[in-house]
Amino acid sequence: GYVVTFEQKDPFLVVDLSNYTDPHVVGELEIPGFSSYLHPIEIDGVQLMLGIGQHVNESDPWAGWDGVKISLFDITNSSNPIERTNFIDKNAYSNAQNDFKSFRYLAASQKLILPKSEYNYGAEGNFDGFVVYNITLDSITSSFEIQHASNDEIRFGCWYSAYMPPRSLVFKSKVMTILSHTVKSTDLYDGDEEWKLNLDDALGLNETECQPYFMTGYID
């Protein structure tokens, strides 16, 4: 079994469960930050674990969490797990940390699809959408972003009081993403938009019915 804890540093633990009456730690790795979700994958025959969580600024312990951290753990040797590589997206948050249904990994193409949100109350840099990553044994790189709402739409748009949780579906090299108030189709390999549907357009909301973009609630 594989376990992480929610601390400033992330003890990644490998636990031997072969005897259920005597579970015990056989391997441990301590790194900055923590992982909220772990997902087993395999690349070129190597057993790995993808971790999605938060990065922590070690130089400023009062700064707290400062961005999404994606870690790739090599678990080939249970007694000596290692972090082969990681990717840090400063000031961002991913719903995949708390909702595993919004996480998607495509083993055949080694692509990871995660929702990403960023809101800074400023005129630039606000984002709500998804990121497609390329995963190899030694690197995690951002391939392209799928933006569901522009900076101005997030700050000044008129939105319904409920919205959809992030989900992604892939069919014939097209990724359909569902998030907040929109549904989009994007080419998985070049990032070109195929189409976009805003579900709020047909509601005819007036000014008294408008809600802020990030202040609405999920549809049950």
Would you give the distance in Å from CA 5 to the centre of its chain? Answer: 18
Which run of H or E residues covers position 26? strand 24-32
Cα angle 95, 69, 100 (rounded to 5 degrees) comes to 30
Question: Residue 18 pLDDT > 50, yes or no?
Answer: yes
Residue (of 36, 10, 163, 169) closest to 93 by Cα position: 36
Q: pLDDT per residue over 149-169, tens digit each?
A: 988 888 888 888 888 999 999
% the chain with pLDDT above 70: 91
Can you tell me the distance from the alpha carbon of 54 to that of 89, in angstroms, rounded to the nearest whole number?
9
pLDDT number for residue 220: 47
User: CA–CA separation, 75 vs 206, rounded Å?
Assistant: 55
pLDDT digits (tens, 9 = 90+) for 176-206: 999 999 999 999 999 999 999 998 888 888 8
Mean pLDDT of 140-152: 94
Q: What is the pLDDT of residues 114-141, one digit of tens each?
A: 999 988 777 788 899 999 999 999 999 9
Q: Which residues contact 169 (CB under 8 A, 6 or more apart)?
A: 175, 176, 178
What tokens does 61 get? 């312990």
